[in-house]
């Protein structure tokens, strides 16, 4: 319990101090931009179609539900560009929306910005956490705590460090190290299997990071894969953001979760095998770990492949119809970066399996010899 409480305290301290150091007086969110207000649609007055510009203008009455004007009813407008099929859907009575103030001289006071979708997402998140607690019990609760710290470490520490122009390579290693140590201590505590898993995770992280650096140099990657990459270079940071470092961070952070899953699964399984069959030699115990790892390798590699393909499916489809050959498609930096993520992540998992098995066989059998003596 002492280790658990100390881990929580140190994790909170890391977030507070890390955020202060990472931000470096850089405003992550635009301070000069007026924030949108929460509102609820009360009445929809009319919808007018403008044939000249192919758009629909919807006027509606909304009640502001946040800010100093909370409770005030205002007239808003929503412009729907009928040329583009991805324009927002027309508002309906009862919809929760985000609105922003119009410039002076406009016919209406406010304009539609976006639908407020986070409420529905929070409901799904709460349902997930409740199920995790019901099925996982104490370990499920610890999983929720570690998940919260993991998300906060990325959004509160790592992303501000990237946006403030600091060394992304260093902050990637710091963030991944924090995630590994914090997760294993909170969920599993100080045990042989968690120590073995931690050593394996650090090794897997080094493998993934080293491969990414080497392959990025060999393939002459620039990190300029889409419009977002270009906009990053325009940010008013103290030093330009290194796009290759962004690629390094994306691949390393994306792979560390799978590496951690494989390492702790093998170490926990071998701990159970060793307790049930204490007469196994180190070679036999390591062989059991390799067998378990081979069974996990196929599904974990598929998980990485499907996750990366699914995240960039729409862009891949667009690029496919605009390239004459498969070779040209595969050599585009956006596609090659996705393929690099898949291969590096899979290679990290592959190297983690024998390393975890070896470390566990040494640690567990060494303990058994002392016990027998």
User: Measuring CA to CA, how many Å separate 351 from each of 186, 222, 290?
Assistant: 25, 27, 11
- Give residues with Cβ within 8 angstroms of 369, minimum separation 6: none
| pLDDT tier for residue 15 given thresholds of 50, 70 and 90 | very high
Helix axes 168-187, 192-218, angle to 10 degrees: 160
Q: How many domains does the chain have?
A: 2
Q: What is the pLDDT of residue 370?
A: 45
* DSSP H or E stretch at residue 139: helix 118-152
Distance (Å, whole) CA 142 – CA 361 = 27
207 & 160 share domain: yes
What phi, psi does 57 have (nearest 5°)? -110, 115
76 pLDDT exceeds 80? Answer: yes
Determine, yes or no, domain membership for 127.
no
Contact (CB, 8 A) for 166 and 24: yes
Distance (Å, whole) CA 350 – CA 330 = 24
Determine, yes or no, domain membership for 121.
no
61 & 166 share domain: no
227 & 359 share domain: yes
Q: What is the pLDDT of residue 108?
A: 62
Q: What is the pLDDT of residue 90?
A: 83
95 & 163 share domain: no
pLDDT over 90 percentage in the chain:
12
What phi, psi does 69 have (nearest 5°)? -95, 20
**Beta pairing, strands 73-81 & 55-64:** antiparallel
Distance (Å, whole) CA 209 – CA 253 = 9
**Beta pairing, strands 110-115 & 73-81:** parallel
pLDDT over 70 percentage in the chain:
89
162 pLDDT exceeds 60? Answer: yes
119 pLDDT exceeds 80? Answer: yes
User: Whose CA is closest to 204, among 336, 354, 308, 361?
Assistant: 354
Determine, yes or no, domain membership for 330.
yes
85 & 171 share domain: no
Span of 68-82, 147-161, 200-214 with lowest mean pLDDT = 68-82
Q: What is the pLDDT of residue 368?
A: 46
- Within a 13 Å sphere around the CA of 204, how many CA atoms are in the beta-carbon half? 36
Q: What is the pLDDT of residue 139?
A: 81
Span of 27-36, 73-82, 237-246, 279-288 with lowest mean pLDDT = 27-36
- Residues 214-240: pLDDT tens digits? 988 898 888 887 777 778 877 777 777
| pLDDT tier for residue 53 given thresholds of 50, 70 and 90 | low
Q: Among 63-67, 95-99, 223-227, which range has the highest average pLDDT?
A: 95-99
Q: Where are the alpha helices (DSSP H) in 153-187?
A: 159-163, 168-187
The DSSP letter of residue 51 is T
Q: What is the pLDDT of residue 277?
A: 84
The token pair that represents 194 in the structure block = 């968690």
SS (H, E, C) 201-268: HHHHHHHHHHHHHHHHHHCCCCCCCCHHHHHHCCCCCCCCCCHHHHHHHHHHHHHHHHHHHHHHHHHH
CATH number at residue 72: 2.40.50
Whose tokens are 């995630």? That residue is 179
Distance (Å, whole) CA 361 – CA 373 = 18
Determine, yes or no, domain membership for 26.
no
259 & 364 share domain: yes
Q: What is the pLDDT of residue 216?
A: 87
82 & 157 share domain: no
Determine, yes or no, domain membership for 262.
yes
Distance (Å, whole) CA 9 – CA 14 = 9
Q: What is the pLDDT of residue 371?
A: 42
Domain that holds residue 353: 137-372
User: Whose CA is closest to 336, among 256, 230, 242, 221?
Assistant: 221
Q: What is the pLDDT of residue 14?
A: 92
| Mean pLDDT calculated for residue range 312-330 | 74
153 & 49 share domain: no
245 & 294 share domain: yes
* DSSP H or E stretch at residue 44: strand 37-50
């Amino acid at each position: 319990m002492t280790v658990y409480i100390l881990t929580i305290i140190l994790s909170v301290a890391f977030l507070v101090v890390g955020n202060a150091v990472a931000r470096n007086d850089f405003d992550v969110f635009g301070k000069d931009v007026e924030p949108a207000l929460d509102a609820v649609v009360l009445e929809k007055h009319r919808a007018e179609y403008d044939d000249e510009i192919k758009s629909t203008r919807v006027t509606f009455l909304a009640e502001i539900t946040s800010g100093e004007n909370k409770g005030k009813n205002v007239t808003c407008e929503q412009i729907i560009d009928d040329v583009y099929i991805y324009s927002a859907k027309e508002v309906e009575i009862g919809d929760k929306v985000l609105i922003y103030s119009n410039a002076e001289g406009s016919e209406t006071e406010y304009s539609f910005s976006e639908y407020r979708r986070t409420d529905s997402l929070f409901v799904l998140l709460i349902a997930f956490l409740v199920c995790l607690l019901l099925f996982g019990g104490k370990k499920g609760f610890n999983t929720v705590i570690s998940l919260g710290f993991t998300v906060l470490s990325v959004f509160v520490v790592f992303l501000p460090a990237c946006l403030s122009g600091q060394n992304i390579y260093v902050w990637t290693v710091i963030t991944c190290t924090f995630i590994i140590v914090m997760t294993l201590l909170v969920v599993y505590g100080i045990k042989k299997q968690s120590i073995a898993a931690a050593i394996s995770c650090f090794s897997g992280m080094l493998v993934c990071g080293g491969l990414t650096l080497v392959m990025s140099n060999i393939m002459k990657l620039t990190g300029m894969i889409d419009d977002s990459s270009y906009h990053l270079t325009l940010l008013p940071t103290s030093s330009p953001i290194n796009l290759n470092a962004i690629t390094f961070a994306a691949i390393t952070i994306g792979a560390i979760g799978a590496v951690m899953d494989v390492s702790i699964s093998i170490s926990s399984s071998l701990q159970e095998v060793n307790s049930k069959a204490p007469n196994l030699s180190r070679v036999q115990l390591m062989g059991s770990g390799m067998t378990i790892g081979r069974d996990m390798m196929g599904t974990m590699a598929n998980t990485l492949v499907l996750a990366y393909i699914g995240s960039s499916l729409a862009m891949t489809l667009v690029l496919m119809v605009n390239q004459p050959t498969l070779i040209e498609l595969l050599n585009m930096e956006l596609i090659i970066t996705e393929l690099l993520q898949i291969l590096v992540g899979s290679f990290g998992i592959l190297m983690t399996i024998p390393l975890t098995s070896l470390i566990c066989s040494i640690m567990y059998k060494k303990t058994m010899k002392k016990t027998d003596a």
